[in-house]
Amino acid sequence: MNNNKASIKENNDYVQSRDIADDEINLRELFAVIWKGKWIIIAVTALFALASVFYAIHLPNIYKSEALLAPAEQENSGGLAGLAGQFGGLASLAGVNLGGGSSNKAQLAIEVLKSRQFTSDFIKKHNILPDLMSAKTWNMQTDAIIHDSEIYNAQNNKWVREVSAPFKPKPSMQEAYKEFSKILSASTDKETGMVKISIEHVSPTIAQQWVSWLIQDINQTMKQRDVLEAIKSTDFLTQQLEQTKIADIRAVLYKLVEEQTKTIMFAKVRDEYVFKTIDAALVPEEKFKPKRALICVLGLLLGGMLSVMIVLIRHFVGNSKS
């Protein structure tokens, strides 16, 4: 019995030693193949390295300007919240919005900010389509945008890009919206509730200007929406007051009219209606991207890995044919 156990152990040790020897042979063969194809590896890696350097150098600098905002507190939210608990059903029938605090209004404002309608109105209002769609680089000395001459002729104020139908030389608002969505970022910190709005552009001055305009316009847009809604609700409630004679219902309607009047007054006297600026957007002095060193390193690594794969594939394909 002991002899059988000893023989089994010897066989296992022998198999393990053979496996180790095979692994060493395979590794030696692998390194030998790589060493044999070292010039291919060097050439391909150098080619990728030069291409990545050339690509990184010709990328324009992108600057990022951002602002930190806080949701503005709604001064009349306490009264509205009380009414919402008592007369929410009646208010909803009248089209009166009693719910929603500052956080809900801020989140709604962010979604409006990202919407197609707001973006289209913003682009048209400030006439930023050329700087959005054809900006190629930025001249630091003159603080001027250099436009892509194949897309836009700045001297004649004419779009010259060549496109196929249904597109036209002048970009549509749908194209502009897609491009603007790429450079706009608006997010809310879940812990603090603070909102960050940022713009990336080849010009730091334009990036800062657009962020400032966005904050002004979204406050104005949300103010107009609430005022218009409050006016319509007040008109409806006034009509209902004229039609009812029940004292309790008239008291509720008077209270609803009072709250809508407060909403209108509050909106008209406050410029920072939805967002208060905590940290205003500045003209950035340093570029945000591209990270040229990282691009070059990644290009070098990609070239090295690809060249090794080419050498190994050539070797094993050649052995399989022979």
Q: Tell me, yes or no, whether 312 and 188 share the same domain.
A: no
> 174, 158 in Cβ contact below 8 A?
no
Q: Tell me, yes or no, whether 230 and 154 share the same domain.
A: yes
Is residue 86 one of the residues assigned to a domain?
Answer: yes
> 146, 73 in Cβ contact below 8 A?
no
What pLDDT, on the 0 to 100 scale, is given for residue 237?
A: 82
The CATH number of the domain holding residue 237 is 3.30.1890
Structural domain that includes position 183: 63-279
Q: Tell me, yes or no, whether 200 and 317 share the same domain.
A: no
Pairing of strands 135-139, 275-279: unpaired
Q: Tell me, yes or no, whether 52 and 88 share the same domain.
A: no
* Helix (H/G/I), strand (E/B), else coil: 243: helix
Is residue 309 one of the residues assigned to a domain?
Answer: yes
pTM reported for the whole predicted model: 0.76
Q: Tell me, yes or no, whether 129 and 90 share the same domain.
A: yes
Residues 195-229 have pLDDT tens digits of 999 999 999 999 999 999 999 999 999 998 988 88
Distance linking the first and last C-alpha atoms of the chain: 49
Whether a cis peptide bond, with omega within 30° of 0, leads into 204 is: no
Is residue 151 one of the residues assigned to a domain?
Answer: yes
Q: 124: which 2 tokens?
A: 């048209």
Q: Is 289 left (phi over 0), alpha (psi -120 to 50) or beta?
A: beta
Is residue 284 one of the residues assigned to a domain?
Answer: no
Q: Tell me, yes or no, whether 112 and 260 share the same domain.
A: yes
What pLDDT, on the 0 to 100 scale, is given for residue 160?
A: 93
Total tally of structural domains belonging to the chain: 2
Q: Tell me, yes or no, whether 8 and 49 share the same domain.
A: yes
> Which helix (H) or strand (E) is 278 found in, with range?
strand 275-279
Counting every residue, how long is the chain? 322
Regions of the chain short of the pLDDT cut 50: 14-15, 18-25, 76-91, 93-95, 98-100
Q: Tell me, yes or no, whether 19 and 90 share the same domain.
A: no
What pLDDT, on the 0 to 100 scale, is given for residue 10?
A: 53
> 304, 49 in Cβ contact below 8 A?
no
Tell which residue, 139, 210, 219, has the closest CA to residue 180: 210
What pLDDT, on the 0 to 100 scale, is given for residue 146?
A: 93
Is residue 22 one of the residues assigned to a domain?
Answer: yes
Q: Tell me, yes or no, whether 310 and 259 share the same domain.
A: no
Helices 204-243 & 116-126 angle (0-180, nearest 10) = 120
What pLDDT, on the 0 to 100 scale, is given for residue 64?
A: 96
Q: Tell me, yes or no, whether 83 and 221 share the same domain.
A: yes
What pLDDT, on the 0 to 100 scale, is given for residue 287?
A: 92
* Helix (H/G/I), strand (E/B), else coil: 124: helix
Q: 210: which 2 tokens?
A: 């657009």
Q: Tell me, yes or no, whether 179 and 221 share the same domain.
A: yes
Amino acid letter for position 11: N
Report CA torsion sign: 123, 125, 130, 132: negative
Is residue 286 one of the residues assigned to a domain?
Answer: no
Is residue 285 one of the residues assigned to a domain?
Answer: no
Q: Tell me, yes or no, whether 52 and 70 share the same domain.
A: no
Q: 167: which 2 tokens?
A: 């597109």
Is residue 103 one of the residues assigned to a domain?
Answer: yes
